[in-house]
Structure 1
Amino acid sequence: MNIGEKLSKNGDKILYFYDYGRKAGQRPSTGIFTYVNPKNQEQRNFNKEALKILETKRAQRTIEVQSIGTPIIPAHMFKANFLDYYLEYVELNKREGNRHLNNSFAQFKKFIKKDFISPVDVTENLCKRFQRYLLDNFSGDTPANYYSRFKRVLKAATKDKYFIDNPTEEIAAKSNPSTDLKENLEVDEYLALLNTPCLNQQIKLAFVFCCYTGLRWVDVKSMEWQDINNHKLTTRIIQNKTGQPVVLALHPIAIGVLNQVRDMICELSKPSGKVFSLPTADGANKVLLQWVKDAAINKKITWSCARLSFSILLKDKNVDDPTIAYLLGHTTTEQVQKTYKRHRPKNQDEVISYLPYQKMERWL
C-alpha cells in the first residue's frame, strides 16, 4: 500500500494520501499531515504521533485489500454490535427530508428492545418477526418503506461479509393498506377554521398556510423567508424525494398568512430565518385538535389532513392530476391517484344537467 505526499498550498505542511493510481478518485486523502519545519517541541511531537497514525492506517488499508475475496472482516472494520453498523449506514446514507432510513433504525431498535445485537442473531426468523412488527404497528406504505430500508442495510452488510447469506433476501417489504380513510376538510370547514380563534396563533397560521399550499408538516416547519419571493414559494423543501425545485404561486390567503406573521414579529425590513415558530409535531396536533373542536368540526383532523384537503378540493374543481401532482411536489400522478383523492358522488342534479337538452312543448 503506497502512501503519497504533497506540500500544502503555502508549503508549511506535508499532506499524505493513499496512492492507488493516477485516475480520478484514486488518491484519497488520509486526513493526516505533518509540519515541514516544526517550530517548537509541540510541533515535533505532533509529527511523531502523526507518522505513527499514518503507519497504522497503512497497515489497516493493506489488510483491507488483502481480505477482499475472503470471508474475513478485518478486526478494525468489524462491529460486534450490529446496531453500530446499522447506525453508521444511516449516517452515511441519509438524505435531507427523507426520514425512512433513520426511522427504520429507530423501529428496529425498538423492536429488539435492547442496545446490543450480534450479527449472528440477525436471522431470517428475526427479520420475519420485524416485518410483522411493522405491519402490526403502521399502516399504509410506512411498513414497506421502513422494511425496504432495513433490507438495504442487510444487503450492504452481506457485501461487507457480516452475513454469508442475506437473512432477509426472500422476505418482501409489504404495505398495510388502511381500511379507514383519513379525514379531509371541506370548503365550509376551511372557512370555519379561518374564523375560529386558536390557542396558538403560529400553529393556526402555519396550518392554514398548509391548507392553501399543500405543504407537509416538515416543509412548513423548516420553511424560511428566503423561500418566499414575489408572492411565490421557490424552494426544494417540498421536493426532497425527487431533488427538483418547485415554484408555487401563492393563494391570497397564504399571502395574507405571511403578512400576519411579518406583523407579529414587527419586522420593518425583510425578515430572515424560519417563517413559523412551531413546537413539536405532537404538540402542534394537540392544539390543532382543540381548534378543530372549537370550530364545531366533528372530524379527527391532523396536520397531514391539510395536504389531503388541498388535493381533494382541487380535484373537486376538475384540476388535472399532473397539475395537482406538481403542486404537491411529485413527479408522477401515482400518489395523487392513490392517496390524495377521494371517489365521491357529485351533486346529481348538477351532473345530469350536463346531458343534451332541447325544450319540447309536448313534454311540458
Structure 2
Amino acid sequence: MTITVTPRPTRNGQKIYYTLEWGKGPGERIATGIYTYAKPKEQLQKNHNKEALAILETKKSQLTLEQQSIGTGHIPSHKFKANFLDYYKEYVDNNKRKGNRHLKNSLDQFKAFVKKTFLAPIEITENICERFRQYLLDRFNGDTPANYYAKFKKVLKAATKEGYYKNNPTEEVAAKSSPITQLKENLEAEEYIQLLKTPCLNQEVKEAFVFSCYTGLRHIDVKSLEWSQIKGSSLTTRIIQKKTGNPLVLTMHPIAQAILEKIRIRHNGLTSIGKIFVLPSLDGCNKIVQRWVKDAGVDKHVTWSCARLSFSILLQDANVDAATVALLLGHTTSRYVNEVYKRHRLKDQSEHIQKLPGSHLP
C-alpha cells in the first residue's frame, strides 16, 4: 500500500494544506492539519515551511508503519503514550457513560495518590497497584474503594492488551471493599411526617430533600433535575438501563408531584425549561437539613444520602420486593439493596422478640 501526500491550496492561494491518502474510498484519506506558505515572504515563513514538511514526512512514515503492522500483533512505538496519566485520561474520555462517575473518579483518586503530572508506564508495578488499593481503602467505606479500583484494573487490562505491558501489573491485586464502620441513619414513616410539618430555614432545600425521600434520587440528581424530565406523574431519570439502552422512568409519589406543583404555582407556571431546584453545595444542604431535622425533634444525624436509604427501607418494610426497589433506585440487580440499602437495625425489637414461644406465659 502506497501513501501519498496531497497538497490542497486554500481559496486565496496563500497557504497549502496537506492530506495523506492511500485510496479513493471512505476512510482512505486523513487531513494532517499541516500547512505551508505558498509564497513565503520572509525567513520566518521559510523556516515554518521547512519544519512543517519535516513533520509531514514523519506523519507519513508513522501512518505507513501503522498500516504495515495490521495483523502482525506489533504496535509501532509512536502509538504509545509516554505519560501513563495521558493514557488513563484518554481511556476515561473514550469510555465515560452518563450517570457513571466511578471511572472518572478513579482517575482523580489515582492522580491524588501519585501526586505527579508525569508517570511513565514502566512505573506502574504490582507494588504501586497494591499501594493505590490501600490508599482507596483508607479513604472510603463500603464498595467505593472496590468500584474505583475495579475501574483502575480495567484501564490496566486495556493497556496490557494494547502492548504497554507484557504482564498486567494489577492482575494479582484484587479489588476490595472496605467495611462500613458507621451505619447511616434512616428516617421512619412518622419522622417523614414530622419533617413535612416542620418549617425549614431554606424552603427549597426542604422541598428538594423531601422530593429525594419520595423518589430515592441522590443530591446530585435532584440538583441537576430539569423540567424537561417531568411528564405528568412520570420522571425520566438520567440513568440509562443496560438491558434496553433507554433512560429509567419513575412514577412519582403524590407528595413528590405536589412539591412540583407548588413550585409551579410559586413561579406563576413559568417553569417549562431549566432546573427545578436551585440548591447550595452538598455540604451546604446537609447543614441546613441537620438544623431542620433538629428543629423537627428527630434525634438522628441525617444527611442527604439518608433520604435514598430511607426510601429503600420504607419500601421494603411495606413488603416491596428487592428487585423492584433496586429498579426504583436505578440498579440493575438487587445486590446493593440487599447489602447497602437495607434496615441494619430492627425498628422495634420488642415486637419481634415477642414472637418467640411462651411469650403469653406469666
Q: What TM-score do the two structures reach when normalised by structure 2?
A: 0.79
* Matching residue of 1:84: 86
Cα deviation for residue 236 of structure 1 reads 3.8
* Structure 1 residues 35-74: aligned runs within 5 Å: 56-66=58-68, 69-70=73-74, 73-74=77-78
2:30 paired with 1:30: yes
Q: What does the per-residue CA deviation read over 1:302-359, in whole Å, with 9 as the maximum and x for residues that have no partner?
A: 2111111011111111122222222222232222222222163667669989x9xxxx
2:187 paired with 1:185: yes
Q: 1:134 to 1:349 in 2, by over 3 A?
A: closer
* Matching residue of 2:211: 209
Q: 1:186 to 1:163 in 2, by over 3 A?
A: same
Unpaired segments ≥5 residues, structure 1: 7-13, 35-39, 356-364
| Percent identical residues | 53
* Matching residue of 2:343: 342
Tell me the distance in 2 between the aligned counterparts of 1:195 and 1:120: 61
Q: 1:351 to 1:133 in 2, by over 3 A?
A: closer
Tell me the distance in 2 between the aligned counterparts of 1:117 and 1:185: 46
Cα deviation for residue 187 of structure 1 reads 1.2
* Matching residue of 2:112: 110
Q: Which residue identity is paired with 1:69?
A: G
Cα deviation for residue 188 of structure 1 reads 1.7
Q: What TM-score do the two structures reach when normalised by structure 1?
A: 0.79
Tell me the distance in 1 between the aligned counterparts of 2:237 and 2:31: 33
Q: 1:158 to 1:189 in 2, by over 3 A?
A: same
Tell me the distance in 1 between the aligned counterparts of 2:158 and 2:265: 52
Tell me the distance in 1 between the aligned counterparts of 2:309 and 2:4: 57
Unpaired segments ≥5 residues, structure 2: 7-16, 358-362
Q: 1:274 to 1:160 in 2, by over 3 A?
A: same
Cα deviation for residue 300 of structure 1 reads 1.8
Q: 1:198 to 1:58 in 2, by over 3 A?
A: farther
How many equivalent pairs are there? 335
* Structure 1 residues 296-307: aligned runs within 5 Å: 296-307=297-308
Q: Which residue identity is paired with 1:63?
A: L
C-alpha contact 2:264 2:270 (8 A) present in aligned 1? no
* Structure 1 residues 1-364: aligned runs within 5 Å: 27=27, 30-31=30-31, 56-66=58-68, 69-70=73-74, 73-74=77-78, 77-233=79-235, 235-239=236-240, 243-264=245-266, 266-342=267-343, 344=346
C-alpha contact 2:237 2:250 (8 A) present in aligned 1? no
Tell me the distance in 1 between the aligned counterparts of 2:353 and 2:318: 13
Cα deviation for residue 211 of structure 1 reads 0.3
Tell me the distance in 2 between the aligned counterparts of 1:29 and 1:184: 60
Q: Which residue identity is paired with 1:252?
A: P
Tell me the distance in 2 between the aligned counterparts of 1:347 and 1:197: 32
Aligned Cα root-mean-square deviation (Å): 3.7
Cα deviation for residue 217 of structure 1 reads 1.9
Q: Which residue identity is paired with 1:132?
A: Q
